[in-house]
Amino acid sequence: MVLKDADARIITETLGRPPNEVESAIFENLWSEHCAYRTSKPLLQTMPTRGDVVIIGPGDDAAIIKLSDGLTLAIAMESHNHPSYVDPYDGAATGVGGIVRDVISMGAQPIALMDCLYFGNLEREKNRYLFEHVVQGISDYGNCIGVPVVNGEVLFHPSYDGNPLVNVVCVGLGQVEGLVTGRVKTPGSKILLIGSSTGRDGLGGASFASRDLSEESEASDRPSVQIGDPYTEKLLIDATLEAVNKGYVLACRDLGAAGLSGASAEMCSTFGGRITLDAIPLREAGMTPREILVSESQERMVFEVLPEHVDDMLSLALKYDLNAAVIGEVIEEPKYIVECRGVIVADIPIKLLTEGAPLCTTEFPEVLPRQEQPVVRGVTLQEKALRVLSSPNVASKEWVYKQYDHEVQTRTMDKPGGGAAVLSIDAPRGIALSSGCNPTQVAADPFKGAAATVFENAMNLAVKGAMPIAFVNCLNFGNPEKKEVFYQLERAVAGLSHAARILDTPIVGGNVSLYNESEEFHTAIIPTPSIGMVGILNDVSNVPSAFFNHEGDAIVMVGVTYPEYGGSEFAELFGIGGVAPKPRVGIKTTIDSLVEAVETGKISAANDVGRGGILTALAYMCTRLGAKVDLSHCLNEETELFSETSGRAILTVDPGELNSILTVLDARGVPFAAIGTVGGEALSIVIGDSVLTLPLETIKRSLNILNDSMIA
């Protein structure tokens, strides 16, 4: 990649001379879409990012939210999309490593990972290969560093054929007094580089992530993919946290996009920085200053420390068998200066580098979503139900999460497969975590679909008894220079923001991944604004099961179903249209009521109604026990079994406690209906004159279709 002509003119005019080779490489990476958010920044500035719990919002390596008077949570989300197509194992593994370092750079201990994975049709051998190796890369790296993968999503769609998405969330636990940020504090302090040696892997990764994938990407772009070492990462985690706890660290930043040039320039941007490349440990001979600066070799961190703590840091690195070097200092002059072998190879006004990239302006057309209502003829209700339950997007993902160690650190209270993850923090309190997206709904209507993504994750938390408090996002879109793509991005950001305001749940950080298009398949991904959300639990002992577990329990449906099929799994499978779920203000009241109901300790099982509709929610809950359900008074027609209206849940409660739970819901005006009883060897659903009966073995066989195919 070379500098765009317009960018080169701006840089030349500001410097008073053309940039040299090293400076050009630095600008190419730091002014890339991946680093500078040139297209998306004006949109991101419209998001609600503040709240009572927000200590540090967007702009640092990770967001920091308040958990209690002494405890904080760090949360960050990133993509590693292009690298995971070129080299799925290393691309996915280093995505995990990078997001973990974002959290430890804030002084927080990483305690959980979530992954949101999007692939093309598994009938293509290439997609199957990508899927298997991405999962293996995440598993191997996460398991080796001892951070549990507790939640995630896997979704398949043809638009991801040539450009899979790998989004990773990391959550960390920290102390208020141990908080570290990524901006330098004091001129005269020293800059240290600690971790692995620097090689040629990952050269130009930021610029690589800011362009479409070509047919030759697997060969030509492989040098842009980093190679990870989880064992060095574990040592770096421990060394960083010990340094923070001992008070040595003034500021810290992970070497991610744009490598050393990105981390050191952004870190020093409050003042200025002078970097010397001579002392940097290299793993390859003959590396040029340009290569050293933009290499994205993994497992490296830069630290700001006072001169009196330099020896302490070097000793700490030696203790953990990590490379370490003093590579520069913070200066008062607002410049980014790089020196090598006594020669200044870069001399740039630091604000020009970190804040001077001109923003892109794009006009977008008004695109109206499809409004037609679905009509499916010649297919029985039984056939519709089995087709939905056996869809890879609805089916169990046990094959994936069984490869992850989700119990390391012993905080995990709910195993994957039951909706949101639950972690114990300071007993009896805990947190719940949810992640994912409704990309087909976003494709049908970017505003409504993005809002529905927020509501879906919030409901996942609420049925565990957790109150949503904040979320991060990863905005995955195609080429924003195309008007229709920019329209999707703008409307999706507006939808996320609208839902966040309804829930009073701020958006505290995230990542933007654009240019997700494939020359090989001549496709762009459908818009995929995935999110990771955290909620607070007052008592983890009250968390209900995700499955029916008590014979004779009463079943309650919370919320109202509307004929909203746009982007639903049903619509995708049968090639129909329909309106996407409407974002309704009342969802906030529903969430508050669900949390209150679960906190009574009387809810035995609970599940959100999400992808696949009521049918899927009930089927998943029937893993162990069947149920008899009558939806005649809740649904107008049998097709509404598959509607994906937001803000609905299925609860079970002992019949003797039913009135007390209904009173909680009724007090806030939340719609509900008692719809049946737990028990039996089948799921029986009555809707008017229709009766759907699915034996438990049939349900299990349908839901296990993906697991069985991957094992085979």
**Which sequence positions are flagged as catalytic?**
34, 80
Among candidates 343, 347, 196, which has minimal Cα distance to 280? 196
* Whole-angstrom distance, CA of residue 278 vs CA of residue 288: 11
Residue 315 DSSP SS3: helix
What is residue 121's three-state secondary structure?
A: coil
Q: Is-contact 477 160, C-beta < 8 A? A: no
End-to-end CA distance of the chain: 42
Question: Both tokens of residue 673?
Answer: 């209906």
Among 90, 323, 115, which Cα is nearest to 202's?
90
Q: In what order do the strands lie in the sheet with 507-513?
A: 421-424, 430-436, 528-537, 467-476, 507-513
Whole-angstrom distance, CA of residue 500 vs CA of residue 580: 18
- Asked if 364 and 39 touch (Cβ cutoff 8 Å), the reply is no
Can you tell me the distance from the alpha carbon of 130 to that of 81, in angstroms, rounded to the nearest whole number? Answer: 11
> Can you spell out the DSSP letters for 519-572?
TTTTEEPPPEEEEEEEEEES-GGGPPBSS--STT-EEEEES------TT-HHHH
d(CA 91, CA 361): 31
Among 137, 128, 708, 121, which residue's Cα sits nearest to residue 403?
Answer: 137
Residue 192 corresponds to which tokens in the numbers above? 């240290």
Whether the bond between 527 and the residue before it is cis, its omega within 30 degrees of 0, is no
∠ CA 518-524-530 to the nearest 5 degrees? 115
- Angle among Cα 628, 677, 645 to the nearest 5 degrees reads 75
